[in-house]
Homo-oligomer: A and B are copies of this chain.
Amino acid sequence: MSGDAQISRLKPGRRMDIRRENERAILEAAEKVFAEAGFGGATMQLIADMAGLPKANLHYYFATKEDLYRRVVQQIFEIWLDAASSFDDAPGPVEGIGAYVDAKMDISRTHPHGSKVWASEVMHGAPVIQDYLETTLRDWTEGRIAVIQRWIDEGKMQPVNPRHLLYLLWATTQHYADFGHQIQTLNDGRPLSDKQWNEAKASVKDMVLRGIGAI
């Protein structure tokens, strides 16, 4: 666990604000702690400390550790779904996939904790979000496969297997969040700079778009 100070908390205001602000602070702290320690390794005490609240207060807003965890995972999934719209209103793979890579790389940079929690959840067999995988994610995937297939049929890219293209996109973009520590270690212990992030995005886009014959 890194020795960061506690998560910032805004001053409370009206009743409604108290609830919203506390839930936000708890979720933000929980995302970080779950990412850094895993579900089993995370403790409510640690989350409470990081959120700047007594442990009993966490249980006032979230009945159980599992409830809190579920909320964190759902939150991440929604962020990804939002960003996935990059795919839709694009005339071809260069714009669509290019924008999707950009969006997912940006999320990897801005929400590394969330990405890790998701990865951990899936690696452990998706005990709490299995239904999401079978409904929302499956539907989204089928839709995107259809879009890619259309681009192939229109001769806008090589006839690659759309499913494995999606896996490559997910894997590569999320790698920069999930394995960020390894990347940082291989970068002389320093986080990627703005310039290096742009280089990463450009490299990934270049290899992917060339790999599918779109450029």
A: residues with CB less than 8 A from B are 2, 35-42, 116, 119-120, 122-126, 130, 133-134, 137-138, 141, 158, 160-161, 163-165, 167-168, 170-172, 174-176, 178-179, 181-183, 185-186, 199-200, 203-204, 206-208, 210-213
Contacts and interface: CB of A to CB of B under 8 A. Distances in A.
A173 B39 CA distance: 25
Contact of A124 (B41, B160, B185): B41
Contacts of A203: 160-161, 164-165
A165 B38 contact: no
Nearest to A178: B123
Nearest to A132: B185
10 contacts: A38-B38, A41-B41, A122-B181, A123-B181, A133-B182, A133-B185, A137-B182, A141-B186, A164-B203, A167-B200
A41 to B, nearest CB: 3
Contact of A171 (B171, B185, B211): B171
B164 A170 contact: no
A69 to B, nearest CB: 12
A116 to B, nearest CB: 5
Nearest to A203: B164
Contacts of A134: 185
A179 B40 contact: no
Given A122-B182, A170-B175, A37 B40 contact: yes
A200 B164 contact: yes
A133 B171 contact: no
